[in-house]
Amino acid sequence: MSGGAAEGGAGGARAYEAVFGAAPAVRESAPGRVNLLGEHTDYNDGFVMPTAIPQRTTVALGPSPDGRHHLYAADLDERATLSAGGAADEPAPPGFARYLLGCIRLFEREGFAVPPLCVHVSSRVPMGAGLSSSAALEVAALRALRSLTGAALSDERIAELGQRAEIEFAGVNCGIMDQMASSLADARHLLFLDTRTLARRLLPLPAGAEILVIDSGVARTLASSGYNERRAECEEAARRLGARALRDVPDPAAAAALPEPLSRRARHVITENRRVLEAAEGLSAGAFGERMNASHASLRDDYEVSVPALDALVALLQATPGVFGARLTGAGFGGACVALVASGQAAAIGESVCREYDTAGQRGRVLVPERGA
């Protein structure tokens, strides 16, 4: 059996029962995430501070009628077929199926047998917005496999397997933040995570503040976005500084010894780690917001992962009364911005900022808080 062709289909999103003709055996879900502080620090063994968003991805599983895995992504109305127990070097199929193939293969690599399955995916996590729709899919799929088989896998291990699926099967040399957030964060707290040790604490949001997330309308693709290139630059910077990772370089002045662009890349990571550690001490909303603004400037100027539309949206947010701070969130190169705003004002601020925002025909869209929630 080959790695499975994705077939589009007519008919729109359909429920598990309608696609596979019976009820699923298990159904599990996992949220997307938005990162408040600590961008491009996780693959440098550094510190991050994401939270879960209300939107979730759901994966339902049931037995397959034949020896193959049958996959259906309801939102895309796409199907794929995979061999069950296939060769470890089975080529990755296109689209959503590659993430599921990765989860199934890694689950098997942990020593758990996976029977031939029907797999149904539905998601309300926006795709391509930097809110970790792929991590939500991986964690939901791994949770469903755990429920189905009774495998003894911790939430932390699920996050690690999800990350491996992303690296090995989607080709993105990502850190652990997204999968840890999807597996261990909730939407009421900030997850302060040391990505080297996986030590973590759930922290309250700064008093008097809530989260606003606006999609810039500029789509991004991680793999083609220079993400892997940034990571390689950081590793080279650490090597030249004689450090195991940039997390071990506490003083931004040390970066000055490096050639460009390594010097600016390292400065971003070192100052960003410092901002997260300061925020973890418990800051006022105003002081937290200042760190977010500084983070955006650093991502724009030193790390060079912003784009004009994100800068425009962030500037609009930062100029709006009631906004404590704003920045791009996720890998950058497009996607969403996150802002910390006065409690009770996120929906109204989001709407007014979106009205003002119109860059090169792009349209902003408020993703958090969810409309009508």
Instruction: For residue 50, give the nearest of 192, 253, 154 by alpha carbon.
Output: 192
Contact residues toward ligand GLA (CB under 6 A) are: 39-40, 42-43, 174-175, 177-178, 330-331
**Least distance from ligand GLA to the Cβ atom of residue 183, Å:** 13
Q: Which is nearer to ligand GLA, 40 or 267 (CB)?
A: 40
Q: Which is nearer to ligand GLA, 39 or 45 (CB)?
A: 39
Q: Residues 178, 194, 215, 311: which is the catalytic one?
A: 178
Q: In what order do the strands lie in the sheet with 365-368?
A: 323-328, 336-342, 209-215, 365-368
Task: Phi first, then psi: give them for residue 38, nearest 5 degrees.
Answer: 100, 65
**Least distance from ligand GLA to the Cβ atom of residue 174, Å:** 3
- Residue 77 known to be catalytic: no
Instruction: For residue 173, give the nearest of 241, 223, 99, 128 by alpha carbon.
Output: 223
Q: Which is nearer to ligand GLA, 42 or 215 (CB)?
A: 42
Cβ contact 72:121 at 8 Å: yes
**Least distance from ligand GLA to the Cβ atom of residue 72, Å:** 25
Cβ contact 276:49 at 8 Å: yes
Q: Which is nearer to ligand GLA, 107 or 227 (CB)?
A: 227
Q: Is 115 exposed, middle or buried (0-12, 13-18, 19+ CB in 10 A)?
A: middle
**Least distance from ligand GLA to the Cβ atom of residue 40, Å:** 5
Could you tell me the two tokens for 301? 């100027």
Q: Which is nearer to ligand GLA, 43 or 169 (CB)?
A: 43
Sign of CA dihedral 67, 168, 145, 20: negative
**Least distance from ligand GLA to the Cβ atom of residue 132, Å:** 6
Q: What are the residue numbers of the active site? A: 178
